[in-house]
Amino acid sequence: MKLNDRGLLIVISGPSGVGKGTVRSALFQMEGHDLVYSVSMTTRKPRANEVDGREYYFVTREEFESYINEGKMLEFAEFVNNYYGTPLDQVTEMLEAGKEVVLEIEVQGATQVREKMKDAVLIFIAPPSMEDLYRRLSSRGTEPPEIIQARIDKAKREIDLAYMYDYIVVNDTVENAADRIMAIIRAEHAKVERTIHKYKELLEVNNESK
């Protein structure tokens, strides 16, 4: 029996504009990992090149709301007039199969995971500085200043929630951020509270066979 046979739930989250999607892609491109991505459900329309079941499960508002009402979402949030959420069943199945399940979600969703899954590992992706975040948020398109200001205000409120996470990873470069996350995952595996019960079982089996 492996020392560690229930998987880890790893939540990558952070303010909008911080680049968490890019960091998540870089993490999955690294070699020698056993991570699986939990595909979210959303009501937003697919973008060009997005495939149903790969980037997201694309559903209607009615379908999403029936998932919520039936208690089938681990977490969900409304973001720019669309629902986004994590179906509970797929996460539970993957964890029970001993997989390392990664969620990449915004901060409201992460708060819900904190409440429901006490042993989840919550990683907050932070910008190297507020100036850097301003630059990213304002260089996204040709939006009017009040929209940019609204995004910045939202990002500030989101950064304020970092205290409830387990780790803060600065996204100075995407590669550095992905490396740090991998180091966190490895360290989490070695934590005594995750392994001690299995270790005790192994000792008992050994003693019995003597």
Binding site for ligand 5GP (CB under 6 A): 16, 20, 40, 44, 75, 77, 79, 84-86, 104-106, 108-109
Task: Please classify residue 180 by burial: count the beta carbons closer than 10 Å to its beta carbon, then call 0-12 exposed, 13-18 middle and 19+ buried.
Answer: buried
Residues 6+ apart with CB under 8 A from 90: 38, 39
Sign of CA dihedral 137, 140, 146, 147: negative
Q: Which residue is nearest to ligand 5GP (CB)?
A: 109
Q: Return the closest-CA partner of residue 124 out of 138, 141, 110.
A: 110
Q: Return the closest-CA partner of residue 6 out of 88, 95, 102.
A: 95
CB 7 within 8 A of CB 38: no
The nearer residue to ligand 5GP, 116 or 197, going by C-beta atoms, is 116
Residue 180 beta carbon to ligand 5GP: minimum distance, rounded to whole angstroms = 18
The nearer residue to ligand 5GP, 80 or 192, going by C-beta atoms, is 80
Residue 8 amino acid letter:
L
The nearer residue to ligand 5GP, 85 or 127, going by C-beta atoms, is 85
Residue 179 beta carbon to ligand 5GP: minimum distance, rounded to whole angstroms = 20
The nearer residue to ligand 5GP, 84 or 165, going by C-beta atoms, is 84
Residue 78 beta carbon to ligand 5GP: minimum distance, rounded to whole angstroms = 9
Residue 163 beta carbon to ligand 5GP: minimum distance, rounded to whole angstroms = 19
Helices (H), 18-160: 20-29, 61-69, 88-96, 107-116, 130-138, 145-159
What tokens does 200 get? 């005790």
What is the distance between the alpha carbons of residues 126 and 14, in angstroms, rounded to a whole number?
A: 6
Residue 199 beta carbon to ligand 5GP: minimum distance, rounded to whole angstroms = 34
The nearer residue to ligand 5GP, 112 or 195, going by C-beta atoms, is 112
Residue 84 beta carbon to ligand 5GP: minimum distance, rounded to whole angstroms = 4
The nearer residue to ligand 5GP, 8 or 105, going by C-beta atoms, is 105
